[in-house]
Amino acid sequence: MKRRLLGVIDATTYHDDLEELLTHRSLAALPFAGRYRIIDFVLSNMVNSGIRSVAIFPKMTYRSLMDHLGSGKNWDLNRKRDGLFFFPTPVVDSDINKIGSFENFAANLDFFYRSSQEYS
């Protein structure tokens, strides 16, 4: 029995130890072995598990992440229905260490209500 799942990636984390590496990109877009990014591991695991719809919540400096992911074609997430969705977090406060997962879910509830997936 295949269940239809909606994957959610919270790409809002920030680590002070990596501050010099994260000045122009988010942690999810941090290069690994030259060709890959950290988010590639998460997306590959989701797609290989049968998840066909993924929502990403980036917080700041997410242009590099969007450039890398593009339409999601490398993960077979470029679809007319479902696929890869970006929900950039509006800049509400200046606290970069705050993780805004609940605020992201609350701001995008309409997406979760409209999704055709059984579980999110």
d(CA 13, CA 60): 10
d(CA 53, CA 37): 19
Span 4-25, mean pLDDT?
Answer: 80
- Write down the pLDDT at residue 79: 78
Q: What domains appear along the chain, each with residue ranges and CATH number?
A: 7-114 (3.90.550.10)
In which band, very low, low, confident or very high, does the pLDDT at 107 lie, cut at 50, 70 and 90? confident
DSSP tag of 85? E
- In the chain, what are the helix, strand and coil shares in percent, each to the nearest 5? 35, 20, 50
Q: Mean pLDDT lowest for which of 3-7, 61-65, 71-75, 88-92?
A: 88-92
Provide the pairing of β-strand 31-32 with 36-37.
Answer: antiparallel
Asked if pLDDT for residue 99 goes beyond 60, the answer is no
Asked if pLDDT for residue 1 goes beyond 50, the answer is no
- Mean pLDDT over each residue of the chain, to the nearest integer: 79
Q: Which amino acid is at 32?
A: F
In Å, what is the CA distance from 1 to each residue of 20, 50, 70?
46, 12, 31
Span 76-97, mean pLDDT?
Answer: 72
pLDDT digits (tens, 9 = 90+) for 35-71: 888 888 999 999 888 888 888 888 777 888 888 888 8
Phi, psi of 119 (to 5 degrees): -130, 145
